[in-house]
A and B are shown apart, each in its own frame.
Chain A
Amino acid sequence: MPPDAALRVRFWGTRGSIPVAMTPAEIRRKLITALVRGAGRSLDTPEKAAAFLDGEIDFAVSDTFGGNSSCVQLVTGAQDYVLCDLGSGARVFGNDVLARHGSGGHTFHVFMSHVHWDHIMGFPFFLPIYTPSNRVRIYGCHAELEDAFRRQHAAPFFPVDFSELTARIEFVRLQPGREYEIAGLSVKAKLQSHGGDSYGYRFQRADRVVVYSTDAEHKQDDLGEVQGFVEFFRDADLVIFDSQYSLAEATSIKEDWGHSSNIVGLELCQRAHAKRLCLYHHEPLSDDQKLAALLAETRRLEEITRGDRRVEILAAYDGMEIAL
């Protein structure tokens, strides 16, 4: 894809806090549901079965939202790779790069929201770091950015020390509020409320804008702070937003846990005239049915609160791709 091609966003890990896997019981429920619905149908070829799943079976039954923790790729069309966060989804991404394009000669630009474990745990399993001809540039606003990655590799947590990684790995400290030109994108970071702080990123190329805003609590006590986020989301084509909790949870038993809700994401997008809201950093307790319900409810909320502009509502899943 040429560098002037449309921006695309690909999700490699969409789960919050900790990776999860479907249980055998969940898989069995999906199979039983699909088989019962297909009873009596002529589904005797893979093509017919696939068409049946695609056309007549709900996503929550035919597929899964997945369970890897945060990792999102901005596909720019240039040779370098651009990522947000290195949760367990980074392992799958790294394997995909190796399978498609070989093990060496790659450059990766990674923007870190913060260094909590679920956002860095994919790094030791990100195979490109073990090939000398690769370059990994890790950007972030935290003073402890490099130290966190090094400590994760230290004994007794991991058998390969950071000093043994053969790729060229560089850490680049960014200042929030300042605009940078990196990998063909204009990038600006914004401080967010989260334990130990987190940072959102606004990426722009030509007239296309993607905002990555995860692990952020919005108490909305300070209306000036709220307006700051409205401006950060302003006219975005896509806002990837932490919607781990319901608003009731976020304002009661899980207050100060550092996460937000679907309704706050929607309201910020409505006020900012953003085009799409993508629910992200899914609650690990939520199975596919619950996440599908969250998506349906958020779409309904958008319908009943819509002003003169519509916000398209999406829910991220591992493997999802969005063209902007």
Chain B
Amino acid sequence: MELTPKRYVDTVVLAPAGRLDHSTSEGFKTALAPYMASCAAGQDHIILDLAGVEYISSVGLRVLMLASKQANAQGGIIGVAALQPAVKEIFDITRFTTVLNVFPSVREGIARLSPPALSAFDAT
């Protein structure tokens, strides 16, 4: 799966697209892995821009949970942003809004995680 990374100082924005379900989640997990390695204290923050994700299943959510656990263990921060309405409902119903960092937009996510990254984001 192509994640089209964009870096803003210490924050990397990744943009998966389509459906994150049982048939695509393994590819999503594999694509995410190299970015997760540097999601650690003093290194990178990660924001997943989910604007292009039309559906996420429990398997896709589990990939996000595993990534969040890895980030926590490494002292890093990962968040998701710009959820489509249906995906937002799935997050609400599964209570993932209570265990992941969920931001209304990529900009608001960057603003919460890194002021220097926000300046870089606004300059683009």
Contacts and interface: CB of A to CB of B under 8 A. Distances in A.
Chains A and B form a bound pair: yes
A252 interface: yes
B98 A263 contact: no
Interface residues of B, number: 20
Main secondary structure of the interface of B (DSSP, over half): helix
B61 interface: yes
A271 B59 CA distance: 13
A246 B94 contact: yes
Q: Which residue, of B26, B57, B61, B92, has the highest number of chain A Cβ atoms within 10 A?
A: B57
Contacts of B2: none
A248 B89 contact: no
Given A248-B98, A252-B65, A263-B94, A220 B59 contact: yes
Main secondary structure of the interface of A (DSSP, over half): helix
A278 B24 CA distance: 28
Interface residues of A, number: 22
B89 A300 contact: yes
Given A267-B57, A300-B89, A304-B89, A251 B62 contact: yes
B23 to A, nearest CB: 9
B57 A248 contact: no
Q: Which residue, of B22, B57, B90, B93, has the highest number of chain A Cβ atoms within 10 A?
A: B93
A205 B86 CA distance: 39
A223 B22 contact: yes
A248 B58 contact: no
A213 B5 CA distance: 42
20 contacts: A220-B22, A220-B59, A220-B62, A223-B26, A246-B95, A247-B58, A247-B61, A247-B94, A248-B95, A248-B99, A251-B65, A252-B69, A261-B94, A263-B57, A263-B58, A263-B94, A267-B57, A298-B93, A300-B93, A304-B86
Given A251-B61, A264-B58, 5 more contacts: A223-B26, A246-B95, A247-B61, A301-B89, A305-B55
